[in-house]
Amino acid sequence: LEPKEEFEHKTLAMDVMRPRQSDPPLSVLTQSGMSVDQVEAIIADTSYSGFPIVVSQESPRLVGFVLRRDLVISIDNARRCQEGIVGASQVLFTEQTSNPVGPPPLSLRSIIDLSPLAITDHTPIDITVDIFRKLGLRQCLVTQNGRLLGIITKKDILKHMAQMTNRDPESILFN
């Protein structure tokens, strides 16, 4: 990394996180209530590497984070090998509860990261960069008063640093 002063401005996590105001909203999954079909539609409509999991759309409190590839593999396996799993099955990231109506649910709790790193939207970007470097993060979530606001990936940080220093992101070593 180049000397910190070059990107040590008043930039905060909220300035680097996605989505931007003009972007579509953050793609999240809810801990319960979504069907296999709905989750598959989100996977098909986006290309993100992962999805935050929240309590509900009304209460966007962070429950965990799931990688796209784990989600794809698990749903695919369940559809092929698990008795009763169909498009209408409910996907559960919570502890399994009884589901008396409808097809049996698909529990995917075991594939989620239950403690993804989250910072507040007011975290200065130089501290955010330090956290990424020291913890070797690929992404980090951004919250405000406990509500999930956005996400920052390693690439977002690299692009931001490149912008600040007027350089090609590829030329910045960030490991």
83 CB neighbour count, 10 Å cutoff: 7
- Name residue, tokens 């049996």: 104
Q: How far is the CB of 159 from ligand ATP (least distance, A)?
A: 8
Q: Which residues of 100-115 are buried (b: 16+ CB within 10 A; e: fewer)?
A: eeebebbbbbebbeee
Instruction: Tell me 42's DSSP state.
Output: H
41 CB neighbour count, 10 Å cutoff: 13
Size of the site for ligand ATP (CB under 6 A): 12
132 CB neighbour count, 10 Å cutoff: 21
Q: Which is nearer to ligand ATP, 73 or 88 (CB)?
A: 73
Q: Which is nearer to ligand ATP, 23 or 83 (CB)?
A: 23
CA angle 100, 111, 125 (to 5 degrees): 125
Binders in 46-85 for ligand ATP, by CB under 6 A: 47-49, 51
151 lines the binding site for ligand ATP (CB under 6 A): yes
Q: Which is nearer to ligand ATP, 73 or 86 (CB)?
A: 73
141 lines the binding site for ligand ATP (CB under 6 A): no
Q: Which is nearer to ligand ATP, 85 or 142 (CB)?
A: 142
Q: Which is nearer to ligand ATP, 100 or 136 (CB)?
A: 136
Binders in 12-51 for ligand ATP, by CB under 6 A: 18-19, 26-27, 47-49, 51
Closest CA relative to residue 151, chosen from 50, 2, 75:
50
Applying CB under 6 A, the residues found at the interface with ligand ATP are: 18-19, 26-27, 47-49, 51, 151, 153, 155-156
